[in-house]
Structure 1
Amino acid sequence: MSDKQKIYFASDQHFGIPDFESSKLREKKFMSWLDEIKSDAKAIFLLGDLFDFWFEYKTVVPKGFVRVLGKIAELRDSGIPIYFFVGNHDLWMIDYFETELGIPVFHRPKEYEFEGKTFLIGHGDGLGPGDKGYKRMKKVFSHPLSKWFYRWLHPDIGVKLAQYLSTKNKLISGDEDIKFLGEDNEWLAQYAKRKLEQKHYDYFLFGHRHMPMEIKVGENSTYINTGDWISHFTYAVFDGKELALKTYQ
């Protein structure tokens, strides 16, 4: 690798909750981390749920987050590639990041190869066995007709409604779901094992579970979850040889 030798991965910041002041403190911590890694970052991957709610109207985006967006724009303008994978809280993202910040946005897991190592990267929601209720709900939320109808709501109503659902509706966000299920039962680990039946990957990188974890899913394959920036403040970093989980102090 060049002097910019590390690739960073982070997810599930959920900026906007539980309130303005608490979110602002976490935003500052996240921006401090971005400032620290910009000296050696070859690329940065944001694996979804950067915001607890994001919906793009044609001419309106949610109020707030100006410091975070400004810091991301600063890093991108400095030449650091940044990639964004939408999560279940920002799945209504369309092209704002692409047109305003020059950041590509992906709605499905994507394959990459770095220094001879193969990665499958995504947010993680709706993958693996089970969770059929959420998968059905996601199809409804992401359907073009649903988005068209929702866009007709005034933003003051649409954003307020979505924020309520985001924090209250278990189908979208449930704290009781944030429990370690065991290495054999973690559904993203099961998803990784099934993918290995079709093709080899050295690493599977996802967020969504809000728990930092590292699970061997094959003889030479590892599933890593990047945790969150609500209670863990964790991220993953690839130094050209190994992928490791870190905690930002």
Structure 2
Amino acid sequence: MKAPRNKIYFISDVHLGAPALNNNAERERLFVQWLDEIKHDAAALFLMGDIFDYWFEYRKVVPRGFTRSLGKIAELVDSGIPVHFFTGNHDIWVFDYLPTELGVQVHYHEMRVSFNNKKFFLAHGDGLDPYDTGYHFLKKIFTNRFFQWLFARVHPNLAISIAHGWSKKSRLDKGMGDDFKGPEKEGLFVFAKSVLENEEIDYFIFGHRHLLLNLPIGNNSHYINLGDWINHFSYGVFDGESFELKRYIK
């Protein structure tokens, strides 16, 4: 007898192909293994941003690699499991390839959705931190169609080299083990509190910060940061009653 597909899975910050890391093949193998295991009871899968360390789609070209991950995601979709992909700051340039070839549903902005009468606020988290004004400016450039058109004129070999060089100098290379800054200084936590001033949310689900957190916020809400697939090998699952953060250890 088949297990019922009644669980909602969430994962973020896999950073497939990250040039600052030397275990990319092993991390992808574990990611694909995890995808293969959850397909038996998953009602939906939410990929919450920075699944790829770099992604840019030219009209006829997409980045090399990730074949096993892309194939397994397509398998989940083909089996009837909805897969949602939120763009992060590392894979912000996802356009039509993933929805066309894999059948995933791409989200460029935050999303509110209800599961079993529980209201979820979903976002990667980049651009929501009220204190991160420098990135707010960069995101406007990265999402500007004219600048995207200009970047598409750069040969893929050079463009990917530039992107990998940027990534090596990013927080990923310097380490993502930042501690929670506290309820008044943690930008995404402050943002979540501001949302609760106007509406009721049961669960805020974020990636981006690479922290593994499930904290109470407000009267009856929870602030979730999903961790990453670099240090924590973590994910979240909602079974219809409660949300749980887990680590995938094999």
User: If the length of structure 2 is used for normalisation, what is the TM-score?
Assistant: 0.94
SS for the counterpart of 1:215 is: strand
Instruction: Check the 8 A contact 1:10/1:46 in 2, yes or no.
Output: yes
SS for the counterpart of 2:55 is: coil
Instruction: Provide the residue aligned with 1:136 in structure 2.
Output: 137
Deviations 1:27-77 (A, max 9, x none): 001111111111110000000101100001111000011011011111111
Percentage of matched positions with identical amino acids: 49
Instruction: Provide the residue aligned with 1:27 in structure 2.
Output: 28
Q: How does 1:1-249 map to 2 (within 5 A)?
A: 3-18=4-19, 22-169=23-170, 175=175, 178-249=178-249
SS for the counterpart of 2:114 is: strand
Matched AA of 2:49 = G
Deviations 1:194-237 (A, max 9, x none): 00111101000010001111121111111101010011011110
C-alpha distance in structure 1 between counterparts of 2:21 and 2:195, whole Å:
40
C-alpha distance in structure 2 between counterparts of 1:179 and 1:245, whole Å:
17
SS for the counterpart of 2:95 is: coil
Structure 1 residue 166 displacement after superposition: 1.9
User: If the length of structure 1 is used for normalisation, what is the TM-score?
Assistant: 0.94
Cα distance 1:67–1:79, how it changes in 2: closer, same or farther (>3 A)? same
C-alpha distance in structure 2 between counterparts of 1:177 and 1:126, whole Å:
20
Instruction: Check the 8 A contact 1:47/1:122 in 2, yes or no.
Output: yes
Structure 1 residue 88 displacement after superposition: 0.1
Structure 1 residue 138 displacement after superposition: 1.2
Matched AA of 1:92 = W
Structure 1 residue 169 displacement after superposition: 4.3
Deviations 1:166-194 (A, max 9, x none): 22146x97536833212442211111110
Structure 2: segments with no counterpart, 5+ residues:
none
Deviations 1:71-114 (A, max 9, x none): 11111111111000000000011111110011110111101000
Matched AA of 2:211 = M
C-alpha distance in structure 2 between counterparts of 1:128 and 1:174, whole Å:
20
Instruction: Check the 8 A contact 2:177/2:210 in 1, yes or no.
Output: no
C-alpha distance in structure 1 between counterparts of 2:238 and 2:53, whole Å:
27
SS for the counterpart of 2:232 is: coil
SS for the counterpart of 1:97 is: helix
Cα distance 1:176–1:34, how it changes in 2: closer, same or farther (>3 A)? closer
Cα distance 1:185–1:19, how it changes in 2: closer, same or farther (>3 A)? closer
Q: Would you say how many aligned residue pairs link Structure 1 and Structure 2? A: 247
C-alpha distance in structure 2 between counterparts of 1:76 and 1:30, whole Å:
16
SS for the counterpart of 2:85 is: strand
C-alpha distance in structure 1 between counterparts of 2:204 and 2:240, whole Å:
16
C-alpha distance in structure 2 between counterparts of 1:15 and 1:70, whole Å:
14
Instruction: Check the 8 A contact 2:177/2:211 in 1, yes or no.
Output: no
Runs of 4+ in structure 1 off by over 4 angstroms are: none
Q: Which shifted more, 174-183 or 218-227?
A: 174-183
Structure 1: segments with no counterpart, 5+ residues:
none
C-alpha distance in structure 1 between counterparts of 2:228 and 2:120, whole Å:
20
Cα distance 1:19–1:136, how it changes in 2: closer, same or farther (>3 A)? closer
